[in-house]
Amino acid sequence: MIYTVTLSPSIDYVVRMSSGMRFNVTNRTDSEEFYFGGKGLNVSQVLAELDLDSTALGFIAGFTGDAIEKGIRNSRIRTDFIRLNEGFTRINIKIKAGGETEINGQGPDIPESALEEIMSKIDAIRDGDTLVLAGSIPKTCPDDIYERMLERVKGKNIMIAVDATKQLLVNSLAMHPFLIKPNRLELSEIFHKEVETQDDVIKYAGKLQEMGARNVIVSLGRKGALLLDENGETHSCGVLKETVVNTVGAGDSMVAGFIAGYQKTGDYGYALKLGSACGNATSFLPGLATRAKIDEVFAKL
């Protein structure tokens, strides 16, 4: 089983206004959409498109939590959330009016009892399973929450993917995750160096391996992605030249595609190509990648 952990899920409410946004007056939208968000939930949803089952773990609260649980559950996604007694799952507002403005909610407080409960669920993960830790953490969670989770599965034969930023990512490396996926900017932030050339990317991806990561994918935006695998081999994959509609969830889609590709074939080159196809597919759609779009993009890469 693949387990995805989203400690701070959200409902993303997207509003579009062709006239631009004005302050201190009433604005009216041209269209509106909402999506069930959070990086781990995105991974689960794309895995479902690739015919892989997953269990979504995390915290939910209030009527927004109810909507997320009902909205993402399907024959391929099992939800096993911890329901909090107070607060409500956050709503993120994304205003697209020429540019894009985001207003992200805070989400509910996480009590110690809820942390103990999710740790019990992590304890139940068995040899042969996959664990994906993805995204930011609520402000009331301890900074070492990912480390604690990985410590609970230490010694088990499981595949671990960590898709997080800065210290959350760095602190996980001692547990030798199977996959991490920083982008070029995040590499620069981690090492306090400007990472510009492909040689720079390979150099600092290698340093992350020295710190414990097994496989490192670096997202390069319009230049595609580079993978430094655990055998020391470098793989790259480009992007298609189509109109980018949406970048939210593209990185999560890449993680899902890579995991699916590797579990299917054991081939890192194929896994990167499928991951890239999923990331591309999401960027060309209003929401997350669909199977039809993934197949279309994969054939062209």
User: What residues act catalytically?
Assistant: 252
- Long-range (24+ apart) CB contacts under 8 A made by 296-300 are 297/240, 298/273, 298/274, 300/240
Token output for 167: 């210290």
The 10 Å Cβ neighbour count of residue 85 is 10
The set of residues, in sequence order, having a beta carbon less than 8 Å from that of 286 and lying 6+ positions away, is 14, 33, 245, 246
Residue with token string 């649980």: 69
Say what the alpha-carbon torsion angle 31, 14, 254, 186 is, to the nearest 10 degrees: 140
DSSP three-state, residue 187: helix
Cross-strand pairs, 219:
183, 225
Three-class SS of 268-298: HHHHHHHHHHHHHHHHCCCCCCCHHHHHHHH
Count, residues in the chain: 301
**Cα–Cα distance between 71 and 41 in angstroms, integer?**
11
**Cα–Cα distance between 77 and 133 in angstroms, integer?**
16
Residue with token string 């809820």: 114
Pairing of strands 159-163, 179-180: parallel
